[in-house]
Amino acid sequence: MKGGYSMVQEVRGWAFQSVLAMGFGLMFLCPARSASQRETEETIPPPRPLTNEQPAREVDRVQPTPRDCSSPTRFLQGPIVSEGQAPPQLKPGQVQPDDHAMPINLPTALQLADARPIIIAAAQASLQIAVAQLRRAQLLWLPNVTAGGTWYRHDGGGTGNSGIEYIVGRDQYMIGAGPFLDWTFVDLIYLPRQARDQAAARRFEVQTARNDALRAVAEAYFNVQQARGRLAGAQDVAEKARKLAEKIRALSKDLTSPFEIDRALTTLADIEREMLLRYQEWRVASADLTRELRLNPTIVAAPLEPPHLQVTLISPKEAVEDLVPVGLLNRPELASQQALVRWALERIRQERLRPLIPSLVIAPNAVPGAPFGTLMSGVF
């Protein structure tokens, strides 16, 4: 028994030393992999809160512009705000007494576009999942450690072959822990790369969601401006139509036919109905804007800028042929798809090399004391 027990101890010691040797060997033989892991941890941090700014990192940067293509700064030199040709002096669209007006300007609306949109929150949640999967893939080389205990007790007896009853009782316990090592080398090599590409794609999708939210808010804001400008024109026409009807009615019956008065009143009624339709369009456009900004939908957005405000992002004199390469090289949607293509290529290489690259599994057969087949050591 002593010899068998010492042999078991030697086998356990040899297995434990083998695990340590292979672990240190993998660490020394793969320095580039460790460096790439540290670089990935630096370049893909957890996503920021929606209200804080974050500097651009490596995975956020789009591919550099080729030499033959123009730089985006040549065309995008900042928005140029101008009022253009001044229209006739009109009173701004007035809100009805039962409605509540919310003064707002374009910079405030664009800042609120990145505050609470659901699409940005959903994209950032996907990024958090991708970063967690990346960190998990970077730790695949670590063994799993199982720890626990078992206690078994039985009181009773049994009858032997001779008919004599024997009292047999058992009381045993086990407390121990041990590692379970499964090194699939093809997964150790390719899974971190795939997870890194997935995280980069999700980060570009976050920027895509921000761009979509910004575009939706800008379009909704200018729709409000357009509807308010049309309402201002309709209110001005209605006011002039009332003055015209009063002047026609003030004339003597000898100079004006009664039909002219009825015609003026009919025209005034049509103009007032058109004014109500324009106010309805303003309310609908304001509801669209408050929906994008997740504000109270019952309020009416009243822009502070004049309705004829003009914002020029790119000069209309620029050729379309020069703008196409800039759009293709700087869109986060395309960068996200490129990262997914890299992920698919890495996955194909992984499956092609899987039959050729061996795996290393260190775990004995399962026994009642160690059902998971771990290299257990402890008190038995």
Q: DSSP states of 255-281 as a string?
A: TS-HHHHHHHHHHHHHHHHHHHHHHHH
Give residue 367's identity as a one-letter amino acid code: V
User: What's residue 287's pLDDT?
Assistant: 93
Residue 165 lies in a domain: no
SS3 at position 304: coil
d(CA 66, CA 75): 16
Paired tokens of 32: 């580039």
Catalogue the E-assigned strands of 258-363: 300-303, 310-312, 359-362
Paired tokens of 294: 């997740």
Residue 282 lies in a domain: yes
Residue 164 lies in a domain: no
User: What's residue 56's pLDDT?
Assistant: 40
Residue 52 lies in a domain: yes
User: What's residue 182's pLDDT?
Assistant: 82
CATH of the domain at 285: 1.20.1600
| Most distant CA pair in the chain, distance | 143
User: What's residue 18's pLDDT?
Assistant: 44
d(CA 291, CA 114): 14
Torsion of CA 308, 309, 312, 315, to 10 degrees: 40
272 neighbors 266 (Cβ within 8 angstroms): no
pLDDT by position in tens, the chain (length 380): 433 434 334 434 444 444 344 443 433 333 334 334 444 333 433 433 333 444 444 444 445 545 555 555 555 555 555 555 555 666 777 777 788 888 998 888 888 887 777 888 889 999 999 999 999 999 988 888 777 777 877 777 777 777 777 777 777 777 777 777 888 899 999 999 999 999 999 999 999 999 899 999 999 999 999 898 888 888 888 988 998 888 888 876 677 777 888 888 898 999 999 999 999 999 999 999 999 888 888 889 988 888 777 777 787 888 888 888 888 888 898 999 999 999 999 999 999 999 998 988 877 655 555 555 555 555 55
47 neighbors 204 (Cβ within 8 angstroms): no
User: What's residue 377's pLDDT?
Assistant: 54
Domain with 51, as residue range(s), is 2-155+170-379
Write down the residue that tokens 């701004």 correspond to: 92
User: What's residue 206's pLDDT?
Assistant: 92
346 neighbors 190 (Cβ within 8 angstroms): yes
Residue 160 lies in a domain: no
d(CA 366, CA 363): 9
Residue 161 lies in a domain: no
The domain tally of the chain equals 1
Residue 150 lies in a domain: yes
Residue 163 lies in a domain: no
